Amino acid sequence: MSHSSKSPNASGPLLGCIADDFTGATDLANMLVREGMRTVQTIGLPEVAPTGVDAIVVALKSRTVPAAQAVAESLAALAWLQQQGCRQFFFKYCSTFDSTAAGNIGQVTDALLDALGADFTIACPVFPETGRTLYRGHLFINNQLLNESGMQNHPLTPMTDANLVRVLQQQTAGKVGLIAYPIVAQGAQAIRAETAVLRQQGARMAIVDALTNADLYAIGAACADLPLVTGGSGIALGLPANFIRAGLLNTSQDSQASALPAIDGWSAVLAGSASLATNAQVAHWNQKRPSFCIDALAVARGEPVVANALAFAHQHLAVQAPLIYATTSSEQVKQVQAALGVERAGALVEDTLAEIARGLFKLGVRRFVVAGGETSGAVVKALHVTALRIGKQIDPGVPATASIGDVPLALALKSGNFGAVDFFEKALGQLGDQRIEMSDGTIGL
């Protein structure tokens, strides 16, 4: 990282981040804010660049698109972040290393390295607060290997191999190495020395083991001079400290999560994730709150599902927030996919929820809780959101946010697998819905 004689924080953004989905982007922005960087998340490339920030997170929806498209969008984001003056770059993907059979983590990393004239980076999806750890190259979700954690049934990115060296190696022609835990446990110097060894051996990327936040801080310190770092939001924990050490970042100023503006209007929850955590959250909600279930096959048959969902919402909005969900078991998702094809099924459900979001907006909804990464991408695009201000964390990996624009919206974009069972209720309370009574009888948060 190049040192500067300018006063701290006077020189524009330091860290430029490219996230491959929207919930992943808010997860990363949440982490950077927690570590003291003033951070704004943009939805794609905005016309007006954010000012007065230390980090910018560009949210793309590139996780499941064809690799060539993901590469093109990521390179455009990199070029824009370079224009903004960023000094180091971060490629954010899922803490469960979500990939299609064809990519895109390896291909995007390769392209970003080439564009930066760099020859090496690390890959580390570890996020201990949400149970993601990596040992000897194998990713665990809590006590289970990735391929036994439920992620093997993901509708778009089924993860059937926990060996990430092998997974990443299938996505790049460059050599993938491993920095295993015995080295990581020795700290930053040992990690840096090992990267030098791997580079000499011709490695272009290295999967890095980690079990704790302390490991992530050490890995972060070892990455200070890498032009590009890749990983989940956890690995970003250690990056702000590098800028502080270099005299470029002063976190003593008011750079913590900003108090978000109060936003009036109705509230609604939209769920398009079929992950285990979202299934549990929907089941919990359904015990005593109103909800409308979207039948993907009925949408495909041309039934008026959107109109029915909006009529249902209209009945409830003035009394309490409704949930509209496509969330269902992996068996049922597979049946829908068998009938419609994987891509068409995903797109159909996403488009339906996006259209419902537009309808809800017209009905006066201004607070949206959305479950699912692809789903959040579709909804946020439908609502023409261009940038987000990051507020306080609701649950690990999910902050409250507010859109920046003429009609501000309060948004909580939840990764499918994140959040406690009462996440929807908590999120509504934190977004300012005063009517939500929590399980323990308290109102709001």
Ligand X SMILES: O=C(O)[C@@H](O)C(=O)COP(=O)(O)O
Write out the residues near ligand X by the rule CB under 6 A: 21, 23-24, 27, 94-96, 232-233, 372-373, 397, 415-417
* Residues contacting ligand ADP: total by CB under 6 A: 23
Q: Could you please report the per-residue DSSP string of 109-129? A: HHHHHHHHT---EEEE--BGG
Q: Are 88 and 226 in contact (CB under 8 A)?
A: yes
Amino acid identity of residue 241, one-letter, is: A
Shortest Å distance, C-beta 232 to ligand X: 4
The helix (run of H) or strand (run of E) holding residue 342 is helix 342-362
Query: 435 to each of 258, 322, 371, 425, 428, how far by Cα in Å?
Result: 23, 12, 21, 10, 9
Q: Could you please report the per-residue DSSP string of 180-213? A: -HHHHTT-HHHHHHHHHHHHHTTEEEEEE-B-SH
Other C-beta atoms lying within 10 Å of the C-beta of residue 383: 21
Q: Rule CB under 6 A: is residue 419 a binding residue for ligand ADP?
A: no
Q: What is the DSSP letter of 104?
A: S
Q: Rule CB under 6 A: is residue 272 a binding residue for ligand ADP?
A: yes
Q: Rule CB under 6 A: is residue 238 a binding residue for ligand ADP?
A: no
Amino acid identity of residue 344, one-letter, is: R
Shortest Å distance, C-beta 324 to ligand X: 18
Nearer to ligand X, 240 or 372 (CB): 372
Nearer to ligand ADP, 63 or 389 (CB): 63
**Burial letters 311-337, b for 16+ CB under 10 A, else e:** eebeebbeeebbbbbbbbebeebeebb
Q: Rule CB under 6 A: is residue 403 a binding residue for ligand ADP?
A: no
Nearer to ligand ADP, 324 or 326 (CB): 326
Q: Are 378 and 326 in contact (CB under 8 A)?
A: no
Q: What residues from 125 to 164 belong to the interface with ligand ADP (CB under 6 A)?
A: 155-156
One of 269, 333, 412, 436 touching ligand ADP (CB under 6 A): 333
Q: Rule CB under 6 A: is residue 349 a binding residue for ligand ADP?
A: yes
Other C-beta atoms lying within 10 Å of the C-beta of residue 364: 12
Nearer to ligand ADP, 126 or 326 (CB): 326
Nearer to ligand X, 174 or 416 (CB): 416
Q: Rule CB under 6 A: is residue 230 a binding residue for ligand ADP?
A: no
One of 374, 395, 425, 433 touching ligand ADP (CB under 6 A): 374
- Token pair, residue 400, equals 């409250």
Stretch near ligand ADP under the rule CB under 6 A, chosen from 122-130, 240-248, 283-291, 324-332: 324-332
Q: Rule CB under 6 A: is residue 354 a binding residue for ligand ADP?
A: no
Q: Rule CB under 6 A: is residue 375 a binding residue for ligand ADP?
A: yes
Interaction site with ligand ADP (CB under 6 A): 155-156, 272-275, 278, 296, 326-328, 333, 336, 345-346, 349-350, 372-375, 415-416
